[in-house]
Amino acid sequence: MGLAKTEIFTDKQNEIALFAKAFGHPARVSILQYLFKIDSCVCRDIEDEIGLAQPTISQHLKELKQLGLIKGNVEGTSVCYCINEEKWAAMKSLMSEFLNQDSTNNPSCC
């Protein structure tokens, strides 16, 4: 398998691709929706709500945390997660700019 060659793309293009990855699996989408729905930190309820095994949920939480879309706090022997509001707002702004670029295109093309 070849290298991704991410260095040939702009920082903004790489950031958009990373955020898009967050939505690339329905489990991550479901986790984000659940965190928004409960509007508080959650420690153990995610497995019951999502219906996947704990190691699978942990892997998806790890990816979302690495992207900065969620944050986690250690409470006792578990980690409690919630939406990182600041990063979520930055992601929304960047993705909106990307997704709305068609509004400036020439409507007579092809």
Question: What confidence tens digit (pLDDT) does each residue in 44-93 have?
Answer: 778 888 889 889 998 999 999 999 999 988 877 778 899 999 999 999 99
Residue type, 36: F
The pLDDT score that the predictor gives to residue 105 is 61
CB 23 within 8 A of CB 69: no
E strand or H helix at 93, and its extent?
helix 85-99
Question: What confidence tens digit (pLDDT) does each residue in 9-52 have?
Answer: 999 999 999 999 999 999 999 999 999 998 888 877 788 888 89
Is pLDDT at 1 greater than 60 in this prediction?
no
Q: Nearest 5°: phi and psi at 5?
A: 55, 40
Q: Measured between alpha carbons, how far is 83 from 73 in angstroms, rounded to an integer?
A: 12
